[in-house]
Amino acid sequence: MSLFEHHCNDWKNSKKDKCDTCVCDQLSKLDTGTPVFVRTKAGGIKSSIKGRFLCFDKKTCCATFTEEVFREEITTIIDCRDIVSLSIANEEFLDSMRAIMNQAYNALNNFTPPS
């Protein structure tokens, strides 16, 4: 086995069963369809998810969420270790987020640049 293969195998093995953060633990207990607000390490415009929890895979640490963005349903898959915070939301919160996104969508579509 080469040094490279040895290093890669060590890395792969070190990643197994490492879904040990508090967020990962909470995700393993959530019901499918639970409304959530998730903040990620990503930063920038896509630093949060305001939608529904779909599933969590303990083997890969992948959490899957769905949310509505500009009238389109999108699915996001993220490593639970890259989630900074997880809030359990309610239907009113999701409705408010949809309304805000629709207002932004309408404003962008109706924008006319100055001449």
pLDDT tens for each residue of 29-47: 999 999 999 999 987 767 8
**Signed CA dihedral, 87, 88, 92, 94: sign only:** positive
Q: Which amino acid is at 8?
A: C
Q: Which amino acid is at 88?
A: I
Q: What integer is the mean pLDDT of 79-108?
A: 87
- Please give the Cα distance from 51 to 94 (Å, whole number): 7
Instruction: Name the percent of the chain lying above pLDDT 70.
Output: 83
What are the beta bridge partners of residue 39? 48, 85
pLDDT, greater one: 42 or 26: 26
What residue ranges define each of the domains in the chain, with the CATH number in brackets?
17-109 (2.30.30.100)
Q: Nearest 5°: phi and psi at 30?
A: -75, 150
pLDDT, residue 108, reads: 80
